[in-house]
Chain A
Amino acid sequence: MENPHMQTWRSVLAVATLGAVLAGCGSNDAPADETAAASGPWSFTSGNGDVVKADKTPSRIIAHAGEAAALISFGIKPVGIYADEPVKTDLNLKDLDLTGITILGEEWGKIDVEKAASLAPDLIVGDWWPAEKAYSGLEEGVDEKSKKLAELAPIVGVSQGESIVDLAEGYEALATSLGAKVDDPQIAANKKRFETAVTAFKAATAAKPNLTAAGMSPTDEKVYVANPKYAPELLDFQRWGLKVLDPAAPDKDFPYWETLSWENADKYQPDLILWDGRAYKDTLNAEFGKKQPTWFEIKAAKAGAVTAWPAYWLHTYGDFATELEKLTTAINGADENIGN
Chain B
Amino acid sequence: MRTSATNRASGLVLLVALLAVVAFLSVTQGSRSIDLTDVLRALGNLGDDGTITSTVTLELRVPRTLVGILAGAALGVAGAILQGVTRNPLADAGIMGINSGAAACVVFAITVLGIQGVSYYVWFAFGGAIIATFLVYTIASMGREGATPVKLALAGAAVTAGLTSVTSAIVMTNIDALNELRFWQVGSLAGRYTPILVGVAPFILLGLVASLGLGRVLNGLALGEDTARGLGQRVGLTRAAAFGVVAILAGAATAACGPIVFIGLVVPHLARFICGPDYRWILPYSMLLAPIVLLLADVLGRIAGAPGELQVGVVLAVLCAPVFVGIVRYARLVEA
Specify which chain B residues have a CB less than 8 angstroms from the CB of A220 in the assembled complex.
117-118, 183, 191
B60 smallest CB distance to A (angstroms): 6
Say yes or no: A262-B176 contact (C-beta < 8 A), given A5-B308, A291-B117, A294-B56.
no
Question: Is A122 at the interface (CB under 8 A from chain B)?
Answer: no
Complex alpha-carbon distance, A10 and B183, angstroms: 12
Tell me if A39 is interfacial: C-beta within 8 Å of chain B.
no
Q: Are A263 and B30 in contact (CB under 8 A)?
A: yes
Name, among B55, B188, B311, the residue most crowded by chain A CB atoms within 10 Å (CB to CB).
B55
A7 to B176 CA separation, bound complex (whole angstroms): 11
Complex CA–CA separation, A107 to B118 (angstroms): 24
Instruction: Answer yes or no: B306 CB below 8 A from chain A CBs.
Output: yes
Bound CA span A34–B307, Å: 56
Whether a CB of chain A sits under 8 angstroms from the CB of B302 is yes
Give B309's nearest chain A residue, CB to CB.
Answer: A261
* Total B residues in contact with A, Cβ cutoff 8 Å: 34
Across the interface, do A1 and B32 meet the contact criterion of CB distance under 8 Å? no
Shortest C-beta distance, A199 to chain B (Å), equals 38
Do the beta carbons of A267 and B188 come within 8 Å of each other?
no
Interface of A: prevailing SS: mixed
In the complex, whether A4 has a CB less than 8 A from a CB of chain B is yes
Minimal beta-carbon separation of B15 from chain A (angstroms): 28
| Complex Cα–Cα for A286 and B173 (A) | 31
B90 within 8 A of A: no
Instruction: Say yes or no: is B186 at the interface (Cβ < 8 Å to chain A).
Output: yes
> Given A14-B175, A220-B191, A249-B307, is A293 in contact with B31 using a C-beta cutoff of 8 Å?
no
Contact B188 A261 (CB under 8 A): no
Contact B191 A8 (CB under 8 A): no
Please name all residues of chain A whose beta carbon is closer than 8 Å to the beta carbon of B32 when the two chains form the complex.
261, 263-264
Q: Is the CB of B175 within 8 A of A261?
A: no
Write out, one digit per residue, whether chain A residues 243-277 have a CB within 8 A of any chain B CB (1) or not (0).
00000010100000011111110110000000000
Given A221-B183, A221-B191, A291-B119, are A297 and B55 also a contact pair (CB < 8 Å)? yes
Asked if A48 lies at the interface with its beta carbon under 8 angstroms from chain B, I say no
Q: Evaluate contact between A259 and B179: CB separation under 8 angstroms.
A: no
CB distance from A296 to the nearest CB of B (A): 9
Residues of B within 8 A of A222 (CB): 190, 308-309
* A84 is an interface residue with CB less than 8 A from chain B: yes
What residues of chain B lie closer than 8 Å to A264, measured between beta carbons? 31-32, 307
Specify which of A7, A249, A291 is in contact with B179 (CB 8 Å cutoff): A7
A266 with B193, Cβ < 8 A, contacts A1-B314, A7-B183, A291-B117 known: no
- Residues 216 to 256 of chain B near chain A (Cβ within 8 Å): none
A108 at the interface (CB under 8 A from B): yes
For A260, list chain B residues within 8 Å (CB). 307-308
Given known pairs A10-B179, A294-B55, A297-B52, the reply for A259 and B172 (CB within 8 Å) is: no
CB-defined interface of A68-88 with B at 8 Å, one 1/0 digit per residue? Answer: 000000000000000011100
The reply to whether the CB of A2 lies closer than 8 angstroms to some CB of chain B is yes
A291's contact among B55, B186, B193, B302, by CB below 8 Å, is which? Answer: B193
Residue of B nearest to A258 (CB): B307
Kindly provide the distance from the CB of A110 to the nearest chain B CB, expressed in whole angstroms.
9
Interface of chain A residues 309 through 323 with chain B (CB within 8 A): none
CB < 8 Å: which of B59, B180, B308 contacts A261? B308
B59 touches A108 (CB 8 A): no
How far, in Å, is B190 (CB) from chain A's closest CB?
Answer: 5
**For the complex, is A210 an interface residue (Cβ under 8 Å from B)?**
no
Contacts of A107 in B (CB 8 A): 172-173, 175
Residue from A1, A4, A108, A266 within 8 A of B183 (CB atoms): A4
CA–CA, A259 and B31, complex, Å: 12
A291 to B119 CA separation, bound complex (whole angstroms): 8
| Interchain CB contact under 8 A, A261 and B190 | yes
A179 to B78, CA, bound (A): 68
The reply on A292 being an interface residue by CB < 8 A is yes
Which listed residue (B176, B182, B308) contacts A2, Cβ 8 A? B182
Verify if B305 is at the interface (C-beta below 8 Å from A).
Answer: yes
Q: Which of A4, A8, A107, A260 has the most CB of B within 10 A?
A: A4
Q: Is the CB of A108 within 8 A of B30?
A: no
A337 at the interface (CB under 8 A from B): no
Q: Does any Cβ of B come within 8 Å of A332's Cβ?
A: no
Q: How far is the CA of A260 from the CA of B60 in the complex (A)?
A: 14
Say whether A28 faces chain B, with CB atoms less than 8 Å apart: no
B47 → chain A, closest Cβ, in Å?
13
Asked whether B31 lies within 8 Å of A221 as measured between CB atoms, the reply is no
Query: Is A329 interfacial (CB-CB < 8 Å)?
Result: no
Distance, CA A107 to CA B36, complexed state (A) = 48
A267 to chain B, nearest CB (A): 7
* CB 8 Å contact bits of A283-294 with B (1 = contact, 0 = none): 000000001111
Q: CB of A196 within 8 A of chain B?
A: no
Q: How long is the Cα–Cα vector from A264 to B32 in the complex, in angstroms?
A: 6
User: Max chain B CB contacts within 10 Å: which of A2, A107, A251?
Assistant: A107
Contacts of A7 in B (CB 8 A): 179, 182-183
Interface residues of B (CB under 8 A from A): 30-32, 52, 55-56, 59-61, 117-119, 172-173, 175-176, 179-180, 182-183, 186, 188, 190-191, 193, 302, 305-309, 311, 314, 317
List the 7 closest A-B pairs by CB distance, nearest first. A11-B179, A293-B59, A263-B32, A261-B31, A259-B308, A261-B309, A220-B118
Residue positions of A touching B, CB distance < 8 A: 1-2, 4-5, 7-8, 10-11, 14, 84-86, 107-108, 219-222, 249, 251, 258-264, 266-267, 291-294, 297
Q: Please list 21 pairs of residues, one from A and one from B, whose beta carbons are closer than 8 Å in the complex, sorted by A's number.
A: A4-B311, A5-B308, A8-B179, A8-B183, A85-B175, A219-B183, A220-B191, A221-B118, A221-B188, A221-B191, A261-B30, A261-B31, A261-B305, A261-B308, A262-B60, A262-B190, A267-B307, A291-B117, A292-B191, A294-B55, A294-B60
Supplied contacts A7-B182, A14-B175, A297-B55, 20 more A-B pairs, CB within 8 Å: A1-B314, A1-B317, A4-B314, A7-B179, A7-B183, A86-B173, A108-B175, A220-B183, A221-B118, A221-B188, A222-B309, A258-B307, A261-B302, A261-B305, A263-B31, A263-B60, A263-B61, A291-B117, A293-B56, A293-B60
